Structure 1
């Protein structure tokens, strides 16, 4: 049976791991910590979705040495936490272990398998000093885009709010055996995970909203629907999106919708407070560099000016430091 470890099994990781465990087609384990881990050990993982409640009991631990090498690791920590867990993850990694990086923003492996003159370019804003690239190796990386929203309602209890898509892809765009195996496992478990030949387009579609709405929400404390419908904030967000679009298109990305359609997508989510705003208010580290700082860095690489992105980045960074 295929061995799958969800490392950092919080809200999204717990949801994905819970769905896999419910289906029973993979040998699933979860790495978590604190009260959440203790509750899952004592009572199992409770997953609430669509008015139904399920309890599953996969292997849960805070010590990866208990688990041994895996076929797949689904890594659901936020981007800024990746470098700090490499040593802890090493017992999970065998010769052929693939790692699915389920983070928001531009991934550290972005220029692996892309071809052309930028092949192998390292991104300092999301991988300072190339630590992740050098330790994991980009050949292990699989990418995905997480469109779900979930929360830890109480320790050991995951509540799924919306979204069922988590498309996957190889950095090279190939339909390899490993990405197809993981796609089948996840899709069978109710997590719609088609294999995308150009996952970077979908990465940018989600990023396009996150790089603008998230930092502007930190500055204004507005919800998604507030920011998308107020004329002033909508104007700021559109300007940020157009600058980012120019950067993405210079890298060969195709955008399936325009800026207004993307803002309307965010508005439909409703009175949702972004994860970045929640992180700032809770005193936690944020994804500012993975969502916005990295796009400014990409702008420098392709020689496209991003003054609005830089302005909002600087203001948001000050707000975070003085929260």
Structure 2
């Protein structure tokens, strides 16, 4: 266990945010959670109720608040919001950020900063799909950011309740590449808390490798309302899954990323996780807004900049958008 108790705020009290908060609090860190409504009330009354394989449910005390000013400057700010929620909240995070604060976004899809890194391919490409008015870029200094990728299956079946089902690998790294002292430090802090973290030399590549799975599993699960194992085990949908992944991998290569991978081996990794209901399918069933723009819209903006035709990604994006519109909120 880390002997130093860090001040850590998790922004977003859903499945992944709760998973991070629980592990870090159990490791002895001073954990706060930014939450609101029924979730804030549940955290205040009962603590964070957390279940992980082989451990049973535990009630964990966290400092819950709906105002960043009440929390003050932090050592680490973990942003675990749905991508579409961050633009409206980014400016309010300022009270959390001091001279030495590190900001770690761990959401799905491509983050707002992905192509803003100096010296990288497509430098300066902004992604309106995830930062429509540039508010996140203005509010969060890129110099504060460490990129993060999480491969864990978690759900939040009720306010203040988080179930960790499987997986748990976390990769963090400098947006510009290389392993810095701060990336190594925070990877160690997260690893000691049981979050399986490692420091990456190329976090942009790692985020794209995760995107390969998200681009396929999330929208296809929404269109079929099936778990990932059923999509992969059916020969016809398996073929669509593989073709979609190949197209996304080719886009990554054209964007200057080293994503030469064995597609079937990558699909096998997803299948090995068992019966997984994707976060996007969970959101569809709960009537919540889907993260289609960070997962499909942003890479399609990249494709347009490169002049690369990605017909299957475009088709799946269009179909999933219409499915989401039929289901509920925009």
| Corresponding residue number in structure 2 for 1:113 | 117
Aligned mates of 1:189, 1:47 — CA distance in 2: 14
Q: Contact (CA 8 Å) 1:246, 1:304: kept in 2 or not?
A: no
1:125 aligned residue = 129
Indicate yes or no: 2:230 matched with 1:226: yes
Normalised by the size of structure 1, how large is the TM-score?
0.93
User: How far is the alpha carbon of 1:116 from its aligned partner?
Assistant: 4.3
Count of equivalent residues? 322
TM-score, L = length of structure 2: 0.91
Query: SS at 1:82's partner residue?
Result: helix
User: What CA distance in whole angstroms lies between the structure 1 residues aligned with 2:134 and 2:240?
Assistant: 33
Look up the SS of the partner of 1:270 in the other structure: coil
Relative distance call for 1:150 and 1:273 in structure 2 (3 A) is closer
Aligned to 1:151: 155
Partner of 2:35: 32
- Measured in 2, the distance between the counterparts of 1:287 and 1:101 equals 15
Structure 1 position 67 matched with structure 2 position 71: yes
Q: Is the 8 A contact 1:74 1:99 kept in 2?
A: yes
- Measured at CA, do residues 145 and 264 of structure 1 come closer, stay the same or move farther in structure 2, by a change above 3 Å? same
Shift of 1:114: 5.2
Coordinate RMSD, CA, aligned: 1.8
Tell me the residue number matched to 1:45. Answer: 48
Distance change >3 Å, CA 156–CA 319, structure 1 → 2: closer
**Secondary structure of 1:280 counterpart:** helix
Q: Is the 8 A contact 2:110 2:295 kept in 1?
A: yes
* Secondary structure of 1:183's aligned partner: helix
Residue 83 of structure 2 corresponds to which residue in structure 1? Answer: 79
Residue 8 of structure 1 and its aligned partner are, at CA, apart by 0.9
- Contact 2:13 2:39 (C-alpha < 8 Å) held by counterparts: no
2:190 to 177, 186, 189: 186
Match of 2:102? 98
Once residues 278 and 160 of structure 2 are traced to their aligned partners in structure 1, the CA distance between those partners, rounded to angstroms, is: 23
Q: Is the contact between residue 45 and residue 156 of structure 1 (CA under 8 Å) also seen in structure 2?
A: yes
State the shift of 1:273 in Å. 2.4
- Of stretches 255-264 and 232-241 in structure 1, the one that deviates more from structure 2 is 255-264
TM-fit CA distance, 1:255: 2.8
Closer/same/farther in 2, CA of residues 198 and 74 from structure 1, 3 Å limit: same
Please say if residues 169 and 197 of structure 1, whose CA atoms lie closer than 8 Å, have aligned partners that are also in contact.
yes
Distance 1:213 1:114, change over 3 A: farther
Q: CA deviation at 1:85?
A: 0.8
